[in-house]
Amino acid sequence: MRTQAHEGWHTYSWINLSQQQVWAQVHFYVKGEFALSPFRAPFGSVEFAESLSPEMLFLFLAEAESKLKDKGVKKIVIKEPPQLYRPQASALLSVLLSDRGYVVTQNEISASIVVDDTEWENKISKDERYHLRRAQREQLVFRQLELTHSKEVYRFIDQCRAERGMALSMTAQQVENTLSACPHDFLLFEVCRHQERIAAAIAVRVAPHILYNFYYGHSLAAQALSPVVFLLQGQYSFCQQQGYRLFDLGTSSPENKTNFSLLNFKTQVGGRLSMKLTFEKNL
């Protein structure tokens, strides 16, 4: 949370004192009349134990709203993670938020690869297998990098976006501050050809079993080699080795509009689709 803002955070928890267990918890960044969960991160929302009854969760939401209203808040915004992260919990929370008068103001489509014993090339389309074979023939090299390379990896990805007339959502300094605060949660990967970096990724460990590709890209000069396909294969193998169960490729809805080319690519490389909802309520 502190990497998003140093002040303005309010945390509400439902605690079973007899068992010393947190049953439910939510973090809000409060500024004026707005309460946001999260402030700048891709998602926040309510975390709760599977054993918590729907009725108790409903009451927790009501109590959090009441506390926020007492602070002068007039609008609450809650960004849910992709539903594939926690299918049952997302289904329940979505219904209860609706029951409490929240409305969906943003509906993004997210793609994640389920990590299991199946080799990645058996999950992807015929066309992507062709691209993978070509990358292998070109003897591309995949490797994980130390965080000391974070600045150069950021610059590379930023340049890849600039070549396409796009920009990253965070500045270099913001990324560095986040990495410094949470060094164990970030991972760097690259693909090289003849010692030249042609693709790279900044990934985030969002949960013990989930890896999220926060930023990734490849140079236009290497477009014909489809180096991102080789990058994803390396990352999938890494996830298998490290015990991850889900590899999140992110949303395909930049600027709140579905990018069909990007969405098609993510499904072609084995991504399973799920919704990523943003809820709002006027108090």
Domain residue extents for the chain? 9-109+277-282, 116-244
Q: Of 222, 250, 219, 223, give the one whose Cα is nearest residue 235.
A: 250
Fold held by 116-244: Aminopeptidase (3.40.630)
The pair of three-digit structure tokens given for residue 99, joined into one six-digit string: 């029951």
**pLDDT tens-digit profile of 39-92?**
777 888 999 998 899 999 999 999 999 999 999 999 999 999 999 999 999 999
* pTM, full prediction: 0.89
Q: What's residue 4's pLDDT?
A: 47
- Judged against a pLDDT cut of 90, whether residue 167 lies above it is answered with no
For 9-109+277-282, CATH number?
Answer: 3.40.630.30
- Judged against a pLDDT cut of 90, whether residue 183 lies above it is answered with no
Q: What's residue 182's pLDDT?
A: 86
Q: What's residue 190's pLDDT?
A: 97
Kind of pairing between the strands at 210-218 and 196-207: antiparallel
- Mean pLDDT, all residues of the chain: 91
Q: What's residue 1's pLDDT?
A: 46
Q: What's residue 258's pLDDT?
A: 85
Identify the bridge partners of residue 30 per DSSP, sorted by sequence position: 35
Distance CA 131, CA 125 (A): 10
Q: What's residue 19's pLDDT?
A: 74
**pLDDT tens-digit profile of 100-130?**
999 999 999 999 999 999 999 999 999 999 9
- Judged against a pLDDT cut of 80, whether residue 3 lies above it is answered with no
The pair of three-digit structure tokens given for residue 33, joined into one six-digit string: 């009349």
Distance CA 189, CA 153 (A): 9
Kind of pairing between the strands at 210-218 and 103-114: unpaired
What's 81's DSSP letter?
P
Identical fold, 9-109+277-282 and 116-244: yes
> DSSP alpha helices (H): ranges in the chain?
54-70, 87-99, 126-137, 150-163, 172-181, 227-242, 260-268
| Percent helix, percent strand, percent coil in the chain, to nearest 5 | 40, 35, 25
Arithmetic mean of pLDDT, 242-269: 89
Cis, peptide link before residue 38, omega less than 30° from 0:
yes
